[in-house]
Amino acid sequence: MPANMLREFLDQNKVRFVTIRHSVAYTAQEIAASAHIKGKEMAKTVLIKIDGRMAMCVLPASNKIDFDLLKEALGGANIRLANEIEFKDKFPECDVGAMPPFGNLYDMDVYVDEALAKDEEIAFNACSHVELIQMAFKDYGRLVMPRLIKFSYHSKL
- Bigger pLDDT: 121 or 29? 121
Q: In terms of CATH architecture, what is 4-120+132-154?
A: Alpha-Beta Complex (3.90)
Read off the DSSP letter of residue 10.
Answer: H
| 3-state DSSP of 27-67 | CHHHHHHHCCCCCCCEEEEEEEEECCEEEEEEEECCEEECH
pLDDT band at 1; cut points 50, 70, 90: very low
Going from N- to C-terminal start, the domains of the chain cover 4-120+132-154
Q: Which of 20-24, 45-49, 74-78 has the lowest mean pLDDT?
A: 20-24
94, HSE (Cβ side, Cα atoms, 13 Å): 26
pTM: 0.90
pLDDT of residue 104: 95
Tell me if 152 sits within 8 A of 115, measured CB to CB: yes
